[in-house]
Amino acid sequence: MRICALALCFGLAGLLEAAPADTVVVEQIVAKVNGDIITRTDMVRARREMEQQMRARGATPQQVAEAMQQSEKDTLRERIDNLLLVQRAKELNINVDSEVTKYLGQIQLDNKIADPEKFQQWIREQTNMTFEDFKSETKNGILTQRVVGQEVYSKVNIPKAEIEEYYNKNKAQFMRKERVFLREILVTTEGKDEIGKAAAEKKAKDLVARARKGERFADLVRDNSDAVTAKSGGYLDPYVKGELNENLEKLIWDKPKGTVTDPIALPGGFLILRVEDHQREGQAELTDVENEIKERIGMTPMQPKLREH
């Protein structure tokens, strides 16, 4: 891939000095990678995160300063590498929307923040990032992991016995709460007369039939849902048992992955739910976390292959 990385040649300080005195810099481009850009804000954020992590581990101010100086070129290189991997994920049509929803849902659950707006505010306070930026960073991180897994990690062989040993020594890290993951389509009846409501019900029934025949639910959401979640594939935050309306919970809780409900009549329309996953409470089976363990213990042997890739 062709890369134009200005800061690798001139450095951040050089770029700042090059700006004319009467120029107002809204955002500074540090590197351009096949049409995508890395900005100075991205670099500052990455350095801030590294500094916070070092301080959390008890590093002295001198150690932090030395590490910051040493890491400037490495940080840019890593940002370029990650951006190339994200671009490769797009070429491979890798979709990780459900994984992003699960990850954010787990953070929200772990911190006991039920209200979505309060959770987004909490993210802003904890990360100094907007919620959308944090979500985007999370998505890019997962996309990067997927590409590395498909195109690099598969070349690193980790013995089954080593995976089992890690699992048995770290079982406490793989405890799970029971949760259900859903997607939705809403066909609204707001502002419609009786004829319009009947048409909405018919549309909802048709969508259920199409979904059960195998049409991609993501496409049906995109083209038909009136819910605000339509822009994100219809994904809902994961629910712990008892959080959903009792009648809704009965419709989906014990149903297998891929189940599509009949249209559910609500005051404002007809709701269709699809079960994306059901995470059982208790100790996760080795088969469920095997890939996660591979990633954890395979980082050292994988680094040379990743640089080569």
At 260, give phi and psi (nearest 5°).
-115, 125
pLDDT tops 90 at residue 286: no
SS3 letters across 145-173: HHHHHHHCHHHCCCCHHHHHHHHHHCHHH
Phi, psi of 33 (to 5 degrees): -120, 95
Residue predicted with more confidence, 70 or 203 = 203
pLDDT at 129: 79
- Whether 59 shows a pLDDT value over 80: the answer reads no
Average confidence (pLDDT) over 73-84? 73
φ, ψ at 183 (rounded to 5°): -125, 155
Question: Cα–Cα distance between 203 and 289 in angstroms, integer?
Answer: 40
Is residue 245 within 8 Å of 264, Cβ to Cβ?
Answer: no
Helices (H), the chain: 6-18, 40-56, 61-91, 97-110, 116-127, 131-151, 160-169, 194-212, 217-224, 246-252, 286-297, 299-308
As given in the structure block, the two tokens for residue 73 are: 């070129």
Tokens found for residue 304: 């040379």
Nearest to 301 by CA among 165, 164, 162: 162
Average pLDDT over residues 230-250: 83
* Higher pLDDT pick, 112 / 274: 274
Q: Which residue has the higher pLDDT, 22 or 287?
A: 287
User: Where is pLDDT greater, at 275 or 55?
Assistant: 275
Are the C-beta atoms of 207 and 300 separated by less than 8 Å? no
Q: What is the predicted pLDDT for the residue at 215?
A: 92
Distance from the Cα of residue 188 to its chain's centroid: 28
158-209 pLDDT, tens digit per residue, is 788 888 888 888 888 787 778 888 999 999 998 899 999 999 999 999 999 9
Amino acid at residue number 150? Q
pLDDT the model gives residue 184: 92
Return d(Cα 254, Cα 292) in angstroms, integer.
26
Neighbours of 42 (CB within 10 A): 20
**Angular region, 42: left φ>0, alpha ψ -120 to 50, beta rest:** alpha
